[in-house]
Amino acid sequence: MQKFSGLELLRRALGGHKSWQPQWRNPDPKPEYDAVIIGAGGHGLAAAYYLAKEHGITRVAVLERGWLGGGNTGRNTTIVRSNYLFDESAALYEHSVKLWEGLSQDINYNVMYSARGVLMLAHNIHDVQSFKRHVHANRLNGVDNEWLTAEQCKEFCPPLNISSMRYPILGGALQRRGGTARHDAVAWGFARAADARGVDIIQNCEVTGIRRGADGAVEGVETSRGFIRTKKIGVSAAGHTSVVMAMAGVRMPLESYPLQALVSEPVKPAFPTVVMSNTIHAYISQSDKGEMVIGAGTDAYTSYSQRGALHITTHTLDAICELVPQFRRLRMLRNWGGIVDVTPDRSPIIAKTPVPGLYVNCGWGTGGFKATPGSGNVFAHTIAKDAPHPINAPFTLERFRDGFLIDEAAAAAVAH
Amino acid sequence: MLIITCPWCGARPELEFRYGGEAHIARPADPSTLTDEEWADFLYNRTNPKGLHAERWRHVHGCGRFFNAVRDTVSDFFVVTYKAGETRPDIAGDQAK
Amino acid sequence: MTNRFRTPSGGRIDRSAPVSFRFDGKTYSGYKGDTLASALIANGVHLLGRSFKYHRPRGILSAGSDEPNALVAVARDAARVAPNLRATQVELYEGLSAESQNRWPSLAFDAGAINDLAAPFLPAGFYYKTFMWPAGAWKRFYEPKIRAMAGLGKAPTLPDPDRYTQNYAFCDVLVVGAGPAGLAAALAAAESGARVILCDEQAELGGSLLAEVGATIEGKPAQAWLADTLASLSKHENVTLLPRTTAFGYFPHNMIALAERVSEHLAAPDHDLPRERLWQVRATEVVIASGAHERPLVFPDNDRPGVMLADSGRTYVSRYGAKPGDRAVIFTACDSGYRTALELKAAGVTIAAIADLRPQLHGELPSRALAAGIDVRPGTVVTGTSGRLRVSSADLAKVSGGAVGRSETIACDTVLMSGGYTPSLHLFSQSRGKLVWDAASGSYLPGTSVERERSAGACRGVYGLNAVLEDGYAAGEAAAKAARDTASPQRGATPVNGASSRSFKAEAPDLGNDGFIGATPHNRNPAFAKAFVDWQNDVTSKDIKLATREGMRSIEHMKRYTTTGMATDQGKTSNMNALGIVSEALGTPVPQIGLTTFRPPFTPTTFGIFAGEARGDLFDPVRKTPIHDWAAEHGAAFEDVGLWKRAWYFPKAGEDLHAAVARECKAVRASVGMFDASTLGKIEIVGPDAAEFMNRMYTNAWAKLEPGRLRYGVMLREDGFVMDDGVVGRMAPDRFHVTTTTGGAPRVLAHMEDYLQTEWPDLDVWLTSTTEQWAVIAVQGPNARAVLEPLVEGIDLGKEAFPHMSVREGRICGVPTRLFSVSFTGELGFEVNVPAEYGRFIWEAIHASGERFGITPYGTETMHVLRAEKGYIIVGQETDGTATPDDVNLGWAVGKAKKDFVGKRSLARASMSAPDRKQLVGLLTTNPATVLEEGAQIVADPTAPVPVPMLGHVTSAYHSAVLGRSIALAVIKGGRARIGQKLSVPMPGSVIEVEVVEPMFYDPKGERLNA
């Protein structure tokens, strides 16, 4: 792998940048791998990277229907935080934030993790009670999260309107270590680092079937580029998880919904942090390029169309203009949709499945980006050891049968 | 914003409706006879197909009725809507039939 | 030099109406009908901005919405600031004030231009490769620097005072674009009687006809035909003409979103006018007549001010009477460049040379150029330009078989370029139509339609004025017919156009459809030459080639890695050239590389129009009870509960929340208080199967509840967790009066309807929401009966006749009432239900009757304290969607003998009765003055290392004035078995000791209920 650094950039500039190599190869699939990951989004690529790095499993293929990083990785609003309520969630997301903090150095790719803080606004007494419960639980779990009064919110994020509005702000929960990262860089960085360790990333290769043996265990995957033999398949297909798992005959507790996001035209720095308001359904941050990056909840009905309705966008911008009324004159530059797979308890599944050799990482709903390194890390462990890492052990499929839900949404009325 | 044809009221904008999830998942007549596995399948597992999907809608800001629809989840075009209690109509190319 | 570059006559500006305006503080003059760009050009001003990354000086590239360079901020006052507006679209008005952007200290001298010198070290994606050391420095050091350099204009800093409105509209045929194709389509549809909406983003309808000087249509000069056609269209009652209106988004089922600029072009807009208006148009059929964008040529130094798209240069002359310069070099790959040359020459601009990329010339326009004595050079490229803030010369060189000869420098102040036309596919692509590659024209064209739309004219590759008019007319006729035949736009349809039934006999020069995609060859040192593909984002052909070397083979990767096509023009000028360069670099044909997705909006669209009137009190409906105004008049503080405003507490002079609540609580316990409970959800459940339905929906057993009695009901979700609760009255064997929580009312009714309609349609039951029909007044306290007795007729309030948990119908002050004997305070209590319109009257009557007892109105906070003293739960506070009935001590309300009810099966799962489930308990702090914080966590060992094992959390905590100490409710793992234990509540910097107690702090035997 060619090293990336300022010095290398200078050195190669003298040669007109002619000597840069492809960041990843474009290999043809081999007939057999030790493990196959389905889906070259951030999660799948991270899993492949950690399989190679931490478990020495390098005969790995990552199969991607389209282009790597082309799904939710490249369509989300890049918020990173770990101030989740339940112990299980806090451990998982905190694992991820810790990896984020050293990720650029680890994979030698600047993922621009920017811990500019994530501020979640409380608009009513119920929000206050709920967020304080988070703050206390987070503190005892070693996750930073602090309560700010409305005035402190305003001080931390001066553009914010806190009073002349329908639902005045009563305070907020701030995770200072939260922030944003550069979404494409995460996919590309993991792809490059995995590729360097021997992982084959095979794009434009659609999985059309999962072959199982007489014992029920997986034998390989049928693809648009031929059959690939393997004993371990990790499904990391986000919105398409139900479709892929159906190929192995596994029904999933998932529904796929459109999730929209939008950006404004770029402007000079005008919004210093990430602000989320679940009560009025909107969140906003400013990218390094200057665009206001804005999102909200999912559309109302299941869909694979990768687009949503105008009235959802309209409602999101109602809320943004209420929170930051000086942004009413900014203009929307792009609006797009992704497909998010949602579980009944809004927590992910990172687990073994009833099919031997088949593993699944899914159900991230609207909150998967923040978990990319952590999720890939424990998913790799699960695939390598055929057993979950302690961090993902609670995130099973069986929890729905047994009733051990990890219901962040119900408990907090907070979207991810 | 979709246009949805309520079988009772006709074509109306999506804002008048509320989505109700996958259709034709009947509540078991006697849940106590089900295993945990079967009960979880009823409660939580969904087909979530990419393609034709039989689903429930309620004309909540209209007649208030639940009804069913077959919609293509790739294009979001409706193929048919029909009253609750009716069986899923035969549709060419409908793999779920 | 005022208007030195203005032609003496011609164009559509009004020379009798001069307009004064300012740019970067300097005053200029233009004319009515000018854009800011055309007025500046007439004044010889071409330096308008600085580029995004290298801060290179930039001028005006185009004459329309595809402009990537000439972005300015326009400020009417301190609050009315709009950044990033295209000077090519800003209409001039008296007093307009515009400023250039992204420069410091001035436009002519910009310190950021140092980046241009450092450009070799800043190739595409450089930021992914560096700024990684030391860890953490990105956020602290590098990012702030990069963020300050990046971005275009400055965001406004004051709330926008302007209004925005929203319209819904329906039509048979929506025509997008009022150029020749769109006008013809609208004519055809209008004449057939269809309801037509014709919109166009420009200030005037007419599109390319507005700059058409040589052509005739139906025997008339094109602009005269245009005027007649618009006059004719505006006479049709069934036609709505919308200039200044951009169709920016194509949503499913033919919902098209339009943004209309209503008053931004006016010098002094009427206050009644909105600034902009959002149209959501549901069209049965859509005709897209969005035209084509002229493509720039990618050659070194193609970004200097004075380098412009050729047809835009012509437009400035022919439409605005503004010459782009004195001496122009034209670089073209198609015949359109010659038309520009001829019209500029006719206006007095010297054409220094025409460099034509094509080796051979033929056709009418090149012949005319030769005949006019213009220096035409086939097989020639421009290899560079010179000049600091404005182009001063261009280098021309012969090219043959890819080999570029020596350059000759030609002095000029203008370079006009044309690489042919790119059909505008944005809306078609947004509609999910499939694009097809047309090798003959070298462009993507609309293929199969998905929605009910059809494209007409240049946006589908039809060129030539007559052909475009007829194509438009045929599309309009076919669309109107299709709309007549099938009214519903819910299904896509394959459009079929017939031949136009009208002949337009248009005569115009033949422009052909030649063009070029990619980077033109040059003889410069590739290490230093910058040939721009995306002007605004400073992406050069070198960047694109570097990205292909680095493995970015998909056009999506290319776009994201280099940012080409991601600027505010969304790639209108850059996408096809980028594709051409990738194609050449990879040796892959263009159609195999793919195209990036076109995403809404077509052009940037103001946030304000989406928000519309939804601000402040109109952001969400405000729900108020019938007693709201009384409470407000009596000084109540309110809290938001869902959409409701609820009276929170009633402070007297000098009281804070704490003092008011203490007083209110004591008053209820000592004498009597009154509380507005009207926000509680109410559902009337009626029918022969009502009791059976209740049995299935609630955990409780209802069959034996006698009419006239009340029961507290618990409702579960099917997964077994508590969803809602409320008191239910049986009014008759077939009639129940159900109450729900305030927030849960719609959810509960929807839940009930779902089961009733879809699972048990055989049950004969009707559900009706009566939340808004009843005002509910709770009268609570030892004197409650005495307060009500004088007012009530027909109901015996006596202890025996009307025991606790009963309901009676009668009258109060002559008004029909359903009177509940019920208590959420632990005191003797009643809830008076009266028709909502009598709510305030009865409230005031009760208040008057209670005066002798010092009756005290109380709010939600006191209600919370009083019920907590009694250990009554609030769903949503003690429960959080993960609590079973047993968890919150409601096991008694679960009908064990019932075979089934919603949620019963889920309760049978092992997890639901696990011993370490969190259970409701009370907490008493060792120090009675300490009030716990709601949400605080409870632990056994506060000294345990992080992560500290947590047992549960405080759900409610108050100071109880009656008890003279703090109280709290909590849910704790295995809590009931821990009663009597001491636990800890760790707070930042301190630990609070608590004792676990029964969740009942006052009158544990419940004697006061029956006082």
User: Dihedrals φ, ψ of C181, to 5°?
Assistant: -65, -45
Closest approach of chain C CAs to the CA of B74, in angstroms? 11
Closest approach of chain B CAs to the CA of C896, in angstroms? 13
Report pLDDT for C594: 84
For chain B, list the contacting chains (3+ Cβ pairs, <8 Å).
Answer: A, C
Report pLDDT for C136: 79
pLDDT band at B95 (very low <50, low <70, confident <90, very high): low
Helix, coil or strand: residue C818: strand
The answer to whether residue C355 scores a pLDDT higher than 90 is yes
Give me the CATH code for the C14-117 domain, please. Answer: 3.10.20.440
Of B11, B20, B75, Cβ closest to residue C488: B11
Report pLDDT for A382: 98
Q: How far is CA A399 from the centre of its chain?
A: 22
Cβ–Cβ below 8 Å for A304 and B46:
no
- The 3-class secondary structure across C416-473, one letter per residue, is EEECCEEECCHHHHHCCCCEEEECCCCEEEECCCCCCEEECHHHHCCCCHHHHHHHHH
Report pLDDT for C1: 45
Class of the CATH-defined domain C914-1010: mainly beta
Q: List, in order of start, the domains of chain A with CATH numbers.
A: 31-76+183-253+345-415 (3.50.50.60), 111-179+255-342 (3.30.9.10)
Cα–Cα dist C686/C91, whole Å: 64
B15 and C CB contact within 8 Å: no
pLDDT in tens, C143-166: 998 888 877 899 999 999 999 999
The answer to whether residue A406 scores a pLDDT higher than 80 is yes
pLDDT in tens, C382-395: 999 999 999 999 99
pLDDT in tens, C293-343: 999 999 999 999 999 999 999 999 999 999 999 999 999 999 999 999 999
Of C255, C280, C491, Cβ closest to residue B77: C491
Residue of A nearest to B1 (CA): A309
DSSP C617: G
pLDDT in tens, A163-178: 999 999 999 999 999 9
Q: What is the ipTM of this complex?
A: 0.97
Of C148, C553, C640, Cβ closest to residue A26: C553
Mean pLDDT score across all residues of chain C = 95
The residue type of C295 is R
Of C252, C899, C905, Cβ closest to residue B76: C252
Average pLDDT of the segment spanning C106-111: 90
Cβ–Cβ below 8 Å for B3 and C909:
no
Rama region for C363: left / alpha / beta (φ>0; ψ in -120 to 50; rest): left
Average pLDDT of the segment spanning B39-61: 97
Report pLDDT for C139: 86
pLDDT band at A416 (very low <50, low <70, confident <90, very high): very low
Of A242, A301, A305, Cβ closest to residue B19: A301
Report pLDDT for A415: 35
Comparing A370-374, C284-288, C463-467, C591-595, the range with the smallest average pLDDT is C591-595
Of C132, C549, C557, Cβ closest to residue A104: C132
Residue of A315, A362, A401, A405 to mutate, interface with B, max B Cβ within 10 Å: A401
pLDDT in tens, C199-221: 999 999 999 999 999 899 999 99
The answer to whether residue C223 scores a pLDDT higher than 80 is yes
Characterize A41-53 residue by residue with b for buried, 16 or more Cβ atoms within 10 angstroms of its Cβ, and e for exposed.
bbbbbbbbbbbbb
Cβ–Cβ below 8 Å for B5 and C490:
yes
| Closest of C31, C34, C5, C36 to residue C18, by C-alpha | C31
Average pLDDT of the segment spanning A153-168: 97
How many C-beta neighbours within 10 Å does residue C804 have? 16
Cβ–Cβ below 8 Å for A251 and B47:
yes
CA B97 to each of CA B54, B87, B93, C375: distance values in angstroms, whole numbers, following the listed order: 10, 11, 9, 72
pLDDT band at B90 (very low <50, low <70, confident <90, very high): confident
Average pLDDT of the segment spanning C709-717: 97
For chain A, list the contacting chains (3+ Cβ pairs, <8 Å).
Answer: B, C
- Candidate CATH numbers 2.30.30.60, 3.40.50.1820, 3.40.250.10, 3.30.2270.10; the one for domain B3-26+39-83: 3.30.2270.10
Q: What is the H or E stretch that residue C20 is in?
A: strand C14-23
Structure tokens that stand for C202 in this block: 């420009």
Cα–Cα dist C678/C742, whole Å: 9
Cα–Cα dist B64/B8, whole Å: 10
Residue of B nearest to A344 (CA): B44
Report pLDDT for C151: 73
Contacts of A411 in chain C (CB under 8 A): 880-882
Specify the CATH superfamily of domain C296-419.
FAD/NAD(P)-binding domain (3.50.50.60)
Comparing C249-263, C335-349, C482-496, C976-990, the range with the smallest average pLDDT is C482-496
Residue of A146, A157, A318, A343 to mutate, interface with C, max C Cβ within 10 Å: A318
The answer to whether residue A294 scores a pLDDT higher than 50 is yes
Let me know if the fold of C164-292+423-499 is the same as that of C296-419. Answer: yes
| Radius of gyration, alpha carbons of chain B | 14
Render A103-171 in DSSP notation, one character per residue: HHHHHTS----B---EEEEE-SHHHHHHHHHHHHHHHHTT---EEEEHHHHHHHSTT---SSSSS---E
Cβ–Cβ below 8 Å for C556 and A70:
yes
Helix, coil or strand: residue C546: helix
Of A253, A254, A309, Cβ closest to residue B1: A309
Cβ–Cβ below 8 Å for B43 and A400:
yes
Average pLDDT of the segment spanning C825-843: 98
B66 and C CB contact within 8 Å: yes
C719 and A CB contact within 8 Å: yes
C434 and B CB contact within 8 Å: no
* C287 touches C395 (CB < 8 A): no
Report pLDDT for C147: 87
Structure tokens that stand for A131 in this block: 């967020």
- The 3-class secondary structure across C137-165, one letter per residue, is HHHHHHHHHHHHHCCCECCCCCCCCCCEE
Residue spans of the domains in chain C: they are 14-117, 164-292+423-499, 296-419, 546-604, 914-1010
Closest approach of chain A CAs to the CA of C316, in angstroms? 27
Cβ–Cβ below 8 Å for C121 and A13:
yes
Specify the CATH superfamily of domain C164-292+423-499.
FAD/NAD(P)-binding domain (3.50.50.60)
Cβ–Cβ below 8 Å for B31 and C432:
no
Closest approach of chain B CAs to the CA of A128, in angstroms? 29
Cβ–Cβ below 8 Å for A329 and C600:
no
pLDDT in tens, C419-433: 999 999 999 999 999
Residues whose CB falls within 8 Å of the CB of residue A19, separated by 6 or more in sequence, listed in order? A12
pLDDT in tens, C877-895: 999 999 999 999 999 999 9
pLDDT in tens, C900-941: 999 999 999 999 999 999 999 999 999 999 999 999 999 999
Average pLDDT of the segment spanning A387-404: 96
DSSP C55: -
> Is the whole-model pTM more than 0.90?
yes
Of C251, C282, C900, Cβ closest to residue B31: C900
Residues whose CB falls within 8 Å of the CB of residue C965, separated by 6 or more in sequence, listed in order? C924, C925, C928, C929, C959
Helix, coil or strand: residue C693: helix
Cα–Cα dist C286/C289, whole Å: 9
Provide the pairing of β-strand C14-23 with B18-22.
unpaired
Report pLDDT for C498: 85
Which residue bears the tokens 């064997």?
C733
pLDDT in tens, A339-351: 999 999 999 999 9
The answer to whether residue C265 scores a pLDDT higher than 80 is yes
B64 and C CB contact within 8 Å: yes
Render C855-915 in DSSP notation, one character per residue: -EEE-HHHHHHHHHHTT---TTTT--SS--TGGGT-GGGS-TT-S--TTHHHHTSGGGG-T
Report pLDDT for B97: 44
C362 and B CB contact within 8 Å: no
* A413 touches A84 (CB < 8 A): no
Cβ–Cβ below 8 Å for C133 and A25:
no
Cα–Cα dist C509/A373, whole Å: 61
User: Percent of chain C beyond pLDDT 70?
Assistant: 99
B91 and C CB contact within 8 Å: no
pLDDT band at A410 (very low <50, low <70, confident <90, very high): confident
The answer to whether residue B86 scores a pLDDT higher than 70 is yes
Residue of A4, A45, A265 to mutate, interface with C, max C Cβ within 10 Å: A265
Residue of C284, C719, C757 to mutate, interface with B, max B Cβ within 10 Å: C757
C641 and A CB contact within 8 Å: yes
C721 and A CB contact within 8 Å: yes
